[in-house]
Amino acid sequence: MQRPLLRSTIAAAAAATPAAVLEQESAPPAHDATIPEKSLIADIPYLTAGMIVLLMVIFGLEKHWAFDIGQDGSLSVQSLIAFGAVSRDLVIGAGEWWRIALAPLLHASAWHLAGNCFALFFVGLRLEPMVGRGWFALIFMVSALGGVAGSIYGNPPDIVTVGASGAITGLIGALFVVSFHHRADPIEQRMMRRTSLRFGIPALLPLVVATAGNVDYFAHAGGAVAGAAFGLALCAIWAADGARPDLGRLAGVAALLGLAASIVCAAVASTRYAAYAAEAAQFVPSAEMPSTLKAGVQRSAELVARYPKDPRAHLIQAYAMVEAHRLHDAEAELRKTIALAPANTAGRAIRNQAQGMLAAVVLDQGRRGEARSLAEPACRDTDQAALRRILKQAKLCD
């Protein structure tokens, strides 16, 4: 017979099936005669527009080659890993350094892309005419690397991330620093600071108040530090009578070399695509995945038979066995789920949920010590709030 704890735990787990796995301006003052006139054509942010188009084209290619796309339009974690997503385990643990030149150009969904392009447009509108296209591109590249470094350093080793937000936050940091340079007149300075604060505060404040969700704020912080530092260096070499910083062409060449490196890294990623595709074929497609564990009970045997290496199929099977009071069989399925769960953020979510359910199963059999050990990861997982609450009530969490 099931005890109340076991029933409550399974009910919490059944709530969701884990996915395989985010200006008004006053009149301008009289022109300062010491400030050189800028070319109107040169002030048009062509490079910013080109970057936005490039990011959109890349995302279109992602969607075309993705193994699976969720109902919300998000690309599967397996797809993102194949394309070049970063994590500490993938970059440092597996030595796949080519990922650092690809992840900042990738996006997980159309909404993710739209948000970044929106910020890039307004920041580029202010910064690109001020520093020139060569320096603007180089700041983007350096900030992208800073964002990857921040993500790898700050996130758990299995968290997989993509996106240009680190690079864009670096542009925001550079924009704020450059706004204090004497080259900008007071009106320009105010507009630059207003834009940088408008986008910079939402990008960094959640990290300060310890709220993250699905956004990689460590990448934001890394990019902001890199961009601000680059902005300081730029101001230091900026001639007093220069319309823009010197060595713009050299900066542009360096940025083009970075783009060339990304192309080479994309070629490396393409050689591994077939292996990732074969692995992804073993997972239940989003269109076939039941919305909840309870909804999948009738199909659990079929899903395990068709996708024996997908831990989610075994998790649904385990739930069905618990519902049928086959606790020993459920324990075996849950242990298989844990063993099959991949070593990334999607795998962590599945593994923690399975361990929480398994803790309830073994506690029902009187093995409290083992249950406490199994419950520990679920007790720390903030994404499993209902399961954590039940485990705490059973005194399985400290």
The DSSP line for 1-62 is: ---HHHHHHHHHHTT-PPPP-----PPPPPPPTTSPPPPTTTTS-HHHHHHHHHHHHHHHHH
Catalytic residue check, 220: yes
Whether the CB-CB separation of 172 and 224 falls below 8 Å is answered with yes
Interatomic CA distance for residues 13 and 354, integer angstroms: 9
Identify the DSSP state of 341: S
In whole angstroms, what separates CA 90 from the centre of its chain? 14
Catalytic residue among 107, 112, 220, 314: 220
Who's near 143: CB < 8 A, 6+ residues apart?
166, 167, 168, 169, 170, 171, 173, 174, 223, 224, 226, 227, 230
Whether the CB-CB separation of 158 and 347 falls below 8 Å is answered with yes
Catalytic residue among 165, 196, 262, 300: 165
Catalytic residue check, 325: no
Sequence-separated contacts (24+) of 133-136 with Cβ below 8 Å? 133/46, 133/47, 133/248, 133/252, 134/247, 134/248, 134/249, 134/250, 134/251, 134/252, 134/253, 134/255, 135/234, 135/244, 135/245, 135/248, 135/251, 136/47, 136/48, 136/171
Write down the residue that tokens 């397996």 correspond to.
Answer: 78
280's tokens: 């992804």
Whether the CB-CB separation of 390 and 8 falls below 8 Å is answered with yes
Interatomic CA distance for residues 246 and 325, integer angstroms: 75
Q: Rounded to 5 degrees, what angle do the CA atoms 68, 342, 328 make?
A: 110
In whole angstroms, what separates CA 347 from the centre of its chain? 15
The residues annotated as belonging to the active site are 165, 220
